[in-house]
């Protein structure tokens, strides 16, 4: 499980676990969870990551220990908070991994840092998320109604059948997911050109949201090294095949790429 640190000991409310900051000389890997998810989605990574990688899962407000924090519905505001809270921890080599909505946040965060004179990640890893289209529209621009949203969640494997027996929990999950999709849909990349850092795109072999054939569409968003990788599973391959995924992440962050 994620090691929850007392609020007074955290440098940021966005970080439930700061043990990754304790040892120097490691790449800091900031991980952004999917829509409707939590930082604990990366709990199993801690024992699988290379000792040279420090895991720093990012917790958005409105869930787990931040359940009473108001959820953020505008990407610009989220980016301002992330830069304010996380930039002091970008004084060592760092990489970003995001899954689905988290991939869009990681990409937007990297761009925001670049556009405001901040440091660049040594690598940007994007999982299960199509790129913004040529008009700048987010991959999550269309928000379905409640019934369609529940159906969509079940089709993607995001709602276990057991949850359907608990209407209050289901409604809470739907409300959280809807707010997260609103957050993702507000992002419009500024016209400041592509990134220059290495970008690696991970697509699930059975993912209808980002089929492997579409992963290469991210290439136009960086002038640096670019790779695509197909991993087993569907949209939530980080839950279905954590061993294969983290093995790939370890290998990608071992590569001597420079932003």
Q: What is the pLDDT of residues 32-74, one digit of tens each?
A: 999 999 999 999 999 999 999 999 999 999 999 999 999 999 9
Range with lowest mean pLDDT among 89-98, 101-110, 137-146, 222-231: 137-146
Residue 1: pLDDT band with limits 50, 70, 90: very low
Overall domain count for the chain: 1
Q: For residues 254 and 139, what is the distance between their CA atoms, to the nearest angstrom?
A: 30
Residue 79: CATH number of its domain? 3.40.50.1820
Asked if residue 129 belongs to a domain, the reply is yes
Q: Which residue would you say has higher pLDDT here, 5 or 202? A: 202
The H-or-E segment that residue 86 falls in is: helix 75-86
Q: Which residue would you say has higher pLDDT here, 25 or 53? A: 53
Range with lowest mean pLDDT among 12-21, 44-53, 165-174, 190-199: 165-174
Asked if residue 259 belongs to a domain, the reply is no
Mean pLDDT of 239-252: 96
pLDDT of residue 11: 77
As given in the structure block, the two tokens for residue 14 are 């966005």
- Whether 55 contacts 45, CB under 8 Å: yes
Mean pLDDT of the chain: 87
User: Which residues are annotated as catalytic?
Assistant: 100, 235
Asked if residue 1 belongs to a domain, the reply is no
Residues 6 or more apart in contact with residue 54 via CB below 8 angstroms: 20, 21, 23, 26, 27, 28, 29
Asked if residue 2 belongs to a domain, the reply is no
Q: Going edge to edge, which strands form the sheet with 27-32?
A: 53-58, 27-32, 94-99, 123-127, 199-204, 226-231
Please say if the pLDDT value at position 187 is more than 70. Answer: yes
Least Cα distance to 64 among 46, 95, 42 occurs for 42
Q: Which residue would you say has higher pLDDT here, 166 or 106? A: 106
Please say if the pLDDT value at position 123 is more than 50. Answer: yes
| Domain residue limits at 156 | 7-254
């Amino acid at each position: 499980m994620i090691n929850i640190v007392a609020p007074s000991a955290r440098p940021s409310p966005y970080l439930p676990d700061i043990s990754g900051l304790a040892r120097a000389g490691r790449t800091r890997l900031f991980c952004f969870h999917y829509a409707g998810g939590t930082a604990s989605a990366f709990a199993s990574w801690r024992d699988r990551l290379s000792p040279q990688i420090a895991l720093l899962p990012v917790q958005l407000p409105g869930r787990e220990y931040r359940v009473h924090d108001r959820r953020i519905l505008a990407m610009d505001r989220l980016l301002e908070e992330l830069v304010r809270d996380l930039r002091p921890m970008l004084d060592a080599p760092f990489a970003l991994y995001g899954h689905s909505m988290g991939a869009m946040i990681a990409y937007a965060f990297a761009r925001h840092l670049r556009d405001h004179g901040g440091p660049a990640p040594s690598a940007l890893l994007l999982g299960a998320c199509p790129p913004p289209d040529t008009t700048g529209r987010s991959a999550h621009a269309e928000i379905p109604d409640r019934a369609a949203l529940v159906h969509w969640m079940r089709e993607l494997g995001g709602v276990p059948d057991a949850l359907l027996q608990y209407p209050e929990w289901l409604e809470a999950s739907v409300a959280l997911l809807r707010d997260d999709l609103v957050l993702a849909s507000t992002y419009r990349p500024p016209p400041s050109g592509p990134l220059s850092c290495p970008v690696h795109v991970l697509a699930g072999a059975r993912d209808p949201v980002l089929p492997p054939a579409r992963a290469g569409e991210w290439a136009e968003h960086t002038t640096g090294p670019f790779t695509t990788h197909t991993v087993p599973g569907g949209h939530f391959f980080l839950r279905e095949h954590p061993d294969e995924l983290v093995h790939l992440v370890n290998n990608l962050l071992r590569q001597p790429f420079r932003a």
